[in-house]
Amino acid sequence: MMRRFLSQRRQKKTPSLIAQRLQQRNDPTLTLSTSLQQNMETFKTVLGSPHDLLIRSFTIGNTKHSCAVIAIDGLANCDMLDTQVLGQIQLMISTASKVVPTEPDEIVGMLYEEVLSVVEISKATDLTKILEGILSGDTAIFVDGSTEVIIVDSKGWKTRAIEEPVSEGLVRGPRDGFTESIRDNTVHIRRRIKDPNLRFEGSIIGRRSRTDVIIAYIENIVDPELLDEVRRRISTIDVDEIEESGFIEQWIEDDFLSPFPQIHNTERPDKVSGALFQGRIAILVDSTPMVLILPVTIGLLLHSPEDYYERWIVGSLARLLRYLAAFLAVYSPAFYIALVTFHPGLIPSDLAFSIAATRDGVPFPAFVEAIMMVTTMELLQEAGLRLPKPIGQTIGIVGGLVIGDAAVSAGIVSPVMVIVVALTAIASFAIPSYHLAIAFRMIRFFAMLMAAIFGIYGVVLSLIAIMIHLSNLTSIGYPYLAPLAPHMPKDWKDMILRAPVTFLKTRPDALHTKDENRMNTGGS
């Protein structure tokens, strides 16, 4: 469905909004002229003389040839402009080691070839290109009489320092996390993968936001079909702004009706480089630390990089625990409802009596009781998320007290229900990826409803229904339940258990990698 939807969209790249506006106005003054004065006026008109526009005029050489520098204050690194651009020009003039030519085009050529000591530098005559450069932090140097403009890369705004990822903490593993600057993020990956085949394929998405988006992959590992499909899907994106990688995720995912995330996001560079080595693709988006990893399987979402860093027994047990947590997070309230309402006979009689005794005086059926408690839990979780950290702890205390004690002594819920809800909450916090945990939280209500109608039979029906959904689900065309269904026995070593590293000789079968071997297995 999604595919049909995507293919109907125009495939061609839309021109940027700046270009559109320039075309629409069709104003003769909006092209570059030879007159410096006029060019400055043009820029002021187009940009509307904003407060942060920097224009510095100066003259060159004996002929006092007038020139100007345009940049956006804050985006461009002023220190660098002072020393490498203006400084160099002034130096040249003061030492007069060169004879400054009189022809404007020759001045441009000399500045470009000899004077400016900057690596990233280019010439342009196209107004839109210059404008885009300036708006992304470049500096344009105009020389009176010439339509050629020198563009110096002077991007240098303030970025956040590298910090430990907040949403994905680890005991063992690197402490650095991605930041909002896409350049820093590519550096993180490049530092971990010194393979010449690492590719960063850049494109600009968003008519107004003009956001840098990079597709990262390792050329001779990744499945070419996957790469083409990702490129195709990204090329269909035609929207005003890409504020966060979530925009891209939602645009290219397979099934927008599914509660399950079909694309992983992370702010851990080690996770991304690990995924690239496996033959997956990462998508980096400027101005967000969240990097997308695709395709994913449900197994990958339940794995944590730590599983690989710790010894294999620890990693395997941790994974088993997480699968158990996933099950408890979805089904423990449902089981409580089913057992208490329909099948008290299934519980050992002593326990059944004590549960019945604690439920004595609770005015609601188990389903209503469970819904109330689980909803309260969701509220607490959401509230704790929004509040600043110091107050967030208060929420925990208040919530814990209210739920744990007051609700029970007020006779609204039974103590066993409190245990069940606490267990559910703890289990859902043990799931390493937040977006998968949210999916489980949603499904929990479905399971509870089924349990309330059909008891344990309903629980199994809901399990079957979820499995049907998961089995139908794909991530960029790759089956979501990959090593289990379809069967890929080779991949089981790294699914529920994590085999010792020496046994993990191949990359995941499910990804159809070009280079399957991860290690030298002897032979040639």
Partner 1 sequence: MSAQTLAEKMISKNHMGINIASVTIGVGILTFPRSLAKATGAFDGWISVVISGLCACLIGWLLAKLAARFPRKTFFEYSSIIASKPIAYILTFLVCIYTMLFVSFEIRAIGNIAKQYLFYNTPVEMITLSFLLIVQYSVVGSRIAMLRLNLLFLPVVLVVMFIVLLFTTQLFEIENIRPFFSSDWRSLLAGSKDVGLSYSGFEIILFYTMLMKNPQEGTRAVTLGLSIPFLLYMTIYMFVIGVFSADVATNLTYPTIELAKEVEIPGGFFERVESIFFTIWIMTIFNTCAMWLDITVLNLSSMFFNVHKTVWVLILSPVIYFVAMLPQNLVDFFTFADSVTYFGIAVVYLCPILLLIIAILRGVKSNE
Q: Which residues bind partner 1 (CB under 8 A)?
A: 3, 223, 225-226, 228-229, 254, 295, 342-343, 345-349, 453-461, 464-465, 467-468, 471-472, 474, 476-479, 481, 484-487, 512
* Shortest Å, Cβ 441 to partner 1: 22
Least gap, CB of 478 to partner 1 (angstroms) = 6
For residue 69 the two structure tokens come to 């520098």
3-state secondary structure of 514: coil
User: CA-to-CA distance for 487 and 158, rounded, in angstroms?
Assistant: 50
Report in angstroms how near the CB of residue 280 gets to partner 1 at its nearest. 12
Q: What is the DSSP letter of 30?
A: G
Give which of 430, 281, 416 is closest to 357, Cα–Cα. Answer: 416
Q: Which is nearer to partner 1, 115 or 459 (CB)?
A: 459
Q: Look up residue 88 and give its two tokens.
A: 């160099």
Given the complex with partner 1, which of 192 and 343 has the nearer CB atom? 343
Q: Name the residue nearer to partner 1 (CB basis): 396 or 477.
A: 477
- CA Rg value for the chain: 30
Min. distance of Cβ 354 from partner 1 in angstroms?
A: 14
The least distance separating partner 1 from the CB of residue 507, rounded to whole angstroms, comes to 16
Residue 443: CB minimum distance to partner 1, A? 15
Residue 475, token pair as written in the block: 């991530």
The rounded distance, in Å, linking the Cα atoms of 236 and 77 is: 34
Q: Which is nearer to partner 1, 324 or 467 (CB)?
A: 467
Cβ contact 76:155 at 8 Å = yes
In terms of CB distance, is 305 or 333 closer to partner 1?
333
* Least separation in angstroms between CB 479 and partner 1: 7
Nearest CB to partner 1, comparing residues 121 and 450: 450
Nearest residue (CB) to partner 1, 65 versus 507: 507
In angstroms, give the least distance from the CB of 485 to partner 1: 4
Element (H, E) at 331: helix 312-341
In the complex, what is the shortest distance from the CB of residue 338 to partner 1, in angstroms, rounded to a whole number?
Answer: 10
Question: What kind and span of H or E run contains 177?
Answer: none
Q: Which of 73, 104, 100, 67 is nearest to 86 (CA)?
A: 67
Report the C-alpha gap between 424 and 332 in whole angstroms: 6
Residue 142 or 335: which CB sits closer to partner 1? 335
DSSP-derived letter for residue 470 is H
Question: Judged by CB, which is closer to partner 1: 7, or 117?
Answer: 7
DSSP-assigned letters across all residues of 62-113: TTTEEEEEEEEBTTB-HHHIIIIIIIHHHHHHHHT-SPPPSSHHHHHHHIII
Q: Which two tokens stand for residue 326?
A: 């996933």
Least Cα distance to 39 among 152, 143, 154 occurs for 143
The two structure tokens encoding residue 152? 């110096």
Nearer to partner 1, 392 or 486 (CB): 486
Nearest distance in Å: CB 509, partner 1: 10
Q: Which is nearer to partner 1, 143 or 281 (CB)?
A: 281
Of 162 and 481, the one with the shorter C-beta distance to partner 1 is 481
Cis omega (within 30 of 0) on the bond before 295? yes
Q: How far is the CB of 346 from partner 1 (least distance, A)?
A: 5
The answer to whether residues 261 and 433 touch, using CB atoms and an 8 Å cutoff, is yes
CA–CA dist 354, 362 (Å, integer): 14
* Residue 217 to residue 280: CA distance in whole angstroms: 7
Residue 227 C-beta: closest distance to partner 1, Å: 9
Residue 282 burial (CB count, 10 A): 24
| Identity of the amino acid at 9 | R
CB-based contact 332:427 (threshold 8 Å): yes
Q: Sheet holding 291-294: strands in order across?
A: 198-205, 211-218, 281-285, 291-294, 264-266
